[in-house]
Amino acid sequence: MKDEYLYLWAQWGILNFEQYQFVLKQFGDLESAWKKITPDFLRQIGIGSEKVDRIFEIRKRISFQDIVSRMKDMNITLFSIEDSEYPSCLKSIHNPPLFIFVRGKVPALHKALGVVGTRGMTDYGQMVTERFTSDLVRNGFVIVSGLALGVDSCAHQTTLKNGGITVAVLGSGVDMIYPASNHFLVSQIIKSGGVIISEYPLGTPSMKHHFPERNRIISGLSRGVLVVEGGVRSGALITAKLALEQGREVFAVPNNITKVSLSGTNYLIRRGEAKLVEKVNHILEEFQMEPQQQQLSFNFDDTEKDLLTNLSDGGKTMDELIVDTALPISRISEILTNLSLKGAVREEGQKWVLN
């Protein structure tokens, strides 16, 4: 087990990496620092005077036994920046989180891509998110996002649907899922080999100013970031800006020029801050990767072959397939289910398309 005082400092959650280094230089180790630190010292290292009294009140309520018990109950692991298990890609960014709380297993991140966008996802945004995410997963990418409603949740869900691994970075403690409606999604992410990550202490609620801070971790864990849709002042564009500062690639999908509220991706492209992408191959080209062709090892019966032929010239809705095939909806649903299980087709929004 890690040193008791590592847990105490992590749960206190007041230091950034530079402050942590200064504390160790002054006190020698975390135990001495915990026992000897004063309000004046906190002011000296840049913590605002108005926060200091509140910070010390919080400190009085921190219990090592409570922390360990809570972490054990929820299978939470703590990594410090000095641990070998701490993601190396995150260590290299400006102001990396000193501690991260983790639920699940941190996957290999050499092929991780952030997928971000607005909470107010449009039908177009959903279609783009599903298409790119499913294609990225088929090409071996781990998908990183922020568990918010809209594009984030769609990216996580699509990853799971395609048998991939996804990383969710929270703007709250890992035990305080926000939005609450995503509790089941969190359990599925962990069950499928993914991970929930946060730099915030246990019990920390979601707060507005946490999200820009969280975004640097999304981009920091990723080789690049794909912006699906969002406004010029949206959190997605903050993530894009942070990604550029971190030396990551930024990709953006063009949006409808009449939707001013969602002009963020066009803005990034126009300014040369993001590469315009229309299909996953455009991302693979930037990383000098060859597309992975899915190998279908199944035989198809005549009705399945007919439906695959029907879909070969583009996606079709269920109503269109009924008209084209003259089959009842129950039969088409059965065929599509079988083809989906065989990896031959997938559902994108209201349409069925070939893989």
Whole-angstrom distance, CA of residue 188 vs CA of residue 186 = 5
Residue 354 has pLDDT above 90, yes or no: no
pTM above 0.85, yes or no: no
Task: Say what the pLDDT of residue 145 is.
Answer: 99
Residue 211 to residues 82, 83, 133, 238, 263, Cα–Cα distance (Å) = 25, 25, 22, 10, 21
The highest-level CATH class for domain 302-354 is: mainly alpha
Calculate mean pLDDT across residues 217-245.
98
Q: Are 156 and 189 in contact (CB under 8 A)?
A: yes
Task: Say what the pLDDT of residue 294 is.
Answer: 54
Partners of 338 in the beta sheet? Answer: none
For residue range 283-335, what is the model confidence (pLDDT) as tens digits?
Answer: 999 999 988 755 554 678 888 888 888 887 778 999 999 998 989 999 999 99
CATH domain 112-286 topology: Rossmann fold (3.40.50)
Annotated domain spans of the chain: 1-72, 112-286, 302-354
* Other Cβ atoms within 10 Å of 1 Cβ, number: 6
Reported confidence tier of residue 127, pLDDT bands at 50, 70, 90: very high
- The DSSP element (H or E) to which 53 belongs, if any, is helix 49-60
For residue range 131-153, what is the model confidence (pLDDT) as tens digits?
Answer: 999 999 999 999 999 999 999 99
For residue range 170-229, what is the model confidence (pLDDT) as tens digits?
Answer: 999 999 999 999 999 999 999 999 999 999 999 999 999 999 999 999 999 999 999 999
